[in-house]
Structure 1
């Protein structure tokens, strides 16, 4: 399909949104699911299960609160799961989920990794998992925060996104050096039907359409592509779900393919979560939950497998360090 201009019900082409348009957009956002029920409660239950090795390996840390009461919503406590036996001489692995709250398997995959694998890997590495960075986005199934700001373009100094700023400050305070960072995301059909057109309207631009890839892919870092690392993750995930094929132009979402299942973005320049550290090994997962060939179970499992494969690769290549 050629690039098209999708009309969006708010705003005027050529004019960026002002306060009136942002307020109109916010008025349309509704709570559709519960952060408490689907994220906090399962997380606290896991950490209290004395029949599991997890409580001895992990601790729950509240690293901040998002206050959106003035916008008619709630306060959202922010949680991370951290290795209880943190050792400065061990490599640190950072896992982030729910930077875009609507990308469900990023959050649920992080919770599943904590439940199934955290205790095992915490004997070898320091683990820091932020399973849901944008809880308001999770509840409203949204890409942005209530101020129509994309947290995943906001991991910068003096960030306008409280979600990004709070996570960034916490991670930097916890770990001066990160060896592995896996940021868990999805690419969905709503990127073309809602979130892409909304972004274009917000910025006063025409919406540029790209086919949504059918399958899993990774977004590496242009400045630190680590191709063997990306290849190892794709190989691992291909055992649980299918990998996206490039389009006729050799691209995924408009970006040229670097290798099978992998494109690269300039993570730091774009303010992406994946650029928050100088990790030796970094990637962003992109699961396609709308595929007729993938179930929610497979989507969650793809996220988990990626994290495990990333840690395994880093342990096999323990002498590799990123040049700075």
Structure 2
């Protein structure tokens, strides 16, 4: 249903101009440090992995370098797995879950897979706890040619530089209370449309690809995460965030059509994780653990498929 909520920036029913975007940017503040909370955790990983800088955001190139972690002994005969976090910078466990996986689990799978982890695709968004970049552009709707988001464009260039096919892509996200309190109302105001109030699911869920759903792959991830945290139930209409579930804890989106990060490759296995950090039933560490469990569930499933072939 349409909400009577009115966002404080812009005129109802009118898309934002550069003036409104500038007004929005003026009220954004730095709330945490990418360098202290993220980069300092990446540096020690360079002892065991290849730590590469694949770019830097033009907003402040020294403050916002873009890093990825690659397993060593890269072999074109091994399948490649891409793990991304922080495409939406405010989704904290996506960032720290990716780093935790690299630090604790990636090496266990490196004999079978080439693994590349881009843990914080949107460092400005991380620092400002924001869904958009400074231009009021959503990086996770911008994975297409001539992208308006340099965060998205940078990741696409990284993937292209790897060469070869990507077998799997696991994109780590969160759904938070601020989605309905701030970000979706802001989106409606930016685009000059009515804000339709939604419900934030309490628990973990996945977003697969409508055109390549890979149901057994998604199920394996859900079963892995279930050992760590609870799975989001559907609402009274059998939906999660307005989409019909295809199985417990799974919905599908047309990922390429929407320009989502999980649709940036032609991978066989792709998914987007969604953790709910505002649940009273979880801690921040459990959210990170859920992200790691999701990646492990994905990799273990692919190992089992390989062994059966």
Note whether the superposition's TM-score is higher than 0.5.
yes
Q: Give yes or no for contact 2:13–2:193 (8 Å, CA) kept in 1.
A: yes
Q: What does the per-residue CA deviation read over 1:164-222, in whole Å, with 9 as the maximum and x for residues that have no partner?
A: 01101111221331111100000000000000000000000111111100000000000
- The aligned residue for residue 304 of structure 2 is 316
> 5 Å matches for 1:270-309?
270-309=258-297
| CA distance, structure 1, for counterparts of residue 155 and residue 307 of structure 2 | 28
Match of 1:262 in 2: 250
Contiguous gaps of at least 5 residues in structure 2: none
Q: What does the per-residue CA deviation read over 1:261-305, in whole Å, with 9 as the maximum and x for residues that have no partner?
A: 000000000000000011111100000000011111110000000
Task: Measure the CA separation in 2 of the matches of 1:162 and 1:314.
Answer: 32
Equivalent residue number for residue 208 of structure 2: 220
1:209 to 197, 207, 220: 197
Q: Is 1:29 paired with 2:44?
A: no
- Please say if 1:18 is aligned against 2:17: yes
Q: CA RMSD in A?
A: 1.4
Structure 1 residue 76 displacement after superposition: 1.0
Q: Matches of 1:263 and 1:319 in 2, distance apart?
A: 28
2:45–2:51 Cα contact (<8 Å) kept? no
> Mean alpha-carbon deviation: is it higher for 173-182 or for 85-94?
173-182
Residue 8 of structure 2 is matched in structure 1 by 9
Tell me what 2:147 maps to: 159
CA contact (8 A) 2:224 2:296 kept: no
Q: Deviations over 1:111-153 (max 9, x none)?
A: 0001101111112100010000000000000000000000000
Could you tell me how far apart the structure 2 residues matched to 1:270 and 1:218 are? 16
Do the aligned partners of 1:67 and 1:74 also contact (CA within 8 Å) in 2? Answer: no
| Cα distance, 1:318 vs structure 2 | 2.4
**Residues 1:38 and 2:29 aligned together:** no
The number of residue pairs the alignment matches comes to: 309
Within 5 Å, give how 1:51-66 maps onto structure 2: 55=48, 58-66=49-57
Q: How far did 1:3 drift?
A: 4.0
- Please give the alpha-carbon distance, in whole angstroms, between the structure 2 residues aligned to 1:277 and 1:5: 39
Shift of 1:101: 0.1
What secondary structure, in the 3-state scheme, does the structure 1 residue paired with 2:54 have? strand
Whether contact under 8 Å (2:52, 2:67) holds in the other structure is yes
Tell me the distance in 1 between the aligned counterparts of 2:83 and 2:30.
Answer: 26
Q: Which runs of 4+ in 1 moved over 3 A?
A: none
Q: For 2:191 and 2:241, locate their aligned partners in 1 and report how far apart those are by CA, in whole Å.
A: 20
Q: TM-score, normalised by structure 2?
A: 0.97
Contact 1:68/1:74 (8 A) holds in 2: no
- TM-score, normalised to structure 1, is 0.93
| Aligned pair partner of 1:189 in 137, 154, 177 | 177
Task: Give the Å deviation of 1:320.
Answer: 9.5
**Structure 1 unaligned runs (5+)?**
49-54
In 2, the alpha carbon distance for the partners of 1:213 and 1:132 equals 24
